[in-house]
Structure 1
Amino acid sequence: MRCYIVYYFKIFLIVCAIHELTCGVISTATNEVYKKLLQLRSLPFEDCGSMFQVMYLKIDGCTTIPCTMKRGDLVDVRVLFDDNGSGVSFLKHEVRWVFNYVKTQAAISPDPCDGNQECIESTGDGKTYLAKVYVNTTLPVMRGRMLWEAKDANSNNLICFEVPVSITL
């Protein structure tokens, strides 16, 4: 009788182990597929040395590359990124317009990490932030790039991406 109990207990443990392994694999595979779908829906961008994976980028009014931006506009930029569970709670943005290798500082209104404002929202998919960038009225009417860097409190570059832009009147 004791042999049968040990035998059934071993079978039970094997079934539990298989269940745990397959659920973990399925969960991981589902998460990876979801990240790939987000990236497919994202506005195309070039990563320039991000520590964390940028999964999704949306710039209001921009559906194709280069993004057409009108001088004097305030444009919403939404980014979803995976901080690998590190609990990022601070981001300082440095945004520049780059035209023919000349970099001009872009104004962010408001910078989400100034004062007591919530900098980053946690979502089930990662972390997200929304910022508004001002398209300076002094920018040249031409094609260039928007270079976006988000740094932590120690000035580590957590997120960095570039998007081709076309400035219009």
Structure 2
Amino acid sequence: MTHSVTLVVVLAASLIAVASTTIVQDCGSKATVTEVRVSGCEVPPCLLKRGEDIVVEIDFENLKETTKSLTAKVHGNIGGIDIPWFGVDKDACNDLTVGDCPVDGTEKIYYSAGVPILSSYPSVAVIVKWQLLTDNNENAACFVVPAQIV
């Protein structure tokens, strides 16, 4: 492969990776969140299809302290009321694809969790809040994203 063809392939792969990032709002992460991906969603509101599963991925690093565990806490806010999102493993350590628990402060962590969108959910607008909490109940990573259950 020539140098120019290699450069084009690398640039194309980079654009694909960037294109899959979801625009979210940070809600007090203590770590540096480098990327959040919600499958099928780049620009909110994310369309969550009933009867299907989505994948939520969070990449972060530089957590200021070591934590023995990470706890996933996910809520959907509908009309100002927080409703727990069922089906997400609370032990976020089970969903780490890079890194492990305990989390060292300098470690790169890639988290990937499957999320069921149940057929019984109503078609409604929701603000999803996703937190990965440390031992001290602080946000290692936290984001909110508007979504629409369809």
The TM-score, its normalising length taken from structure 2, stands at: 0.71
Instruction: Confirm or deny: 8 A CA contact 2:76 2:127 kept in the other structure.
Output: yes
- 1:66 — aligned with what? 45
Query: Which of these residues, 30, 44, 60, is aligned with residue 81 of structure 1?
Result: 60
| 1:161 and 2:138 aligned | no
Instruction: Confirm or deny: 8 A CA contact 2:73 2:130 kept in the other structure.
Output: yes
| 1:147 and 2:126 aligned | no
Structure 1 runs (4+) deviating above 6 angstroms are none
Equivalent-residue separation in structure 1 for 2:44 and 2:122 (angstroms):
18
Correspondence 1:93-132 to 2 at 5 A: 93-113=72-92, 117=94, 119=96, 121-122=98-99, 126-132=108-114
Distance 1:106 1:44, change over 3 A: same
Following TM superposition, by how much is the alpha carbon of 1:109 offset from its aligned partner in structure 2, in angstroms? 4.0
Gaps in structure 1 of 5+ consecutive residues:
1-37
Give the structure, 1 or 2, with the largest relative contact order (CA under 8 Å, sep 6 or more).
Answer: 2
Equivalent residues, number: 129
The percentage of aligned residue pairs carrying the same residue is 22
- 1:53 — aligned with what? 32
- 1:19 — aligned with what? none
Instruction: Confirm or deny: 8 A CA contact 1:69 1:167 kept in the other structure.
Output: yes
Equivalent-residue separation in structure 1 for 2:51 and 2:95 (angstroms):
26
Distance 1:136 1:97, change over 3 A: farther
Following TM superposition, by how much is the alpha carbon of 1:55 offset from its aligned partner in structure 2, in angstroms? 1.0
- 1:26 — aligned with what? none
Equivalent-residue separation in structure 2 for 1:84 and 1:40 (angstroms):
26
Deviations 1:130-167 (A, max 9, x none): 11122244433122211101101232222110011011
Q: Whose helix fraction is larger, Structure 1's or Structure 2's?
A: 1
Following TM superposition, by how much is the alpha carbon of 1:102 offset from its aligned partner in structure 2, in angstroms? 1.4
Gaps in structure 2 of 5+ consecutive residues:
1-16, 101-106
Larger Cα Rg: Structure 1 or Structure 2? 1
Instruction: Find the residue that maps to 1:64 and give its secondary structure.
Output: coil
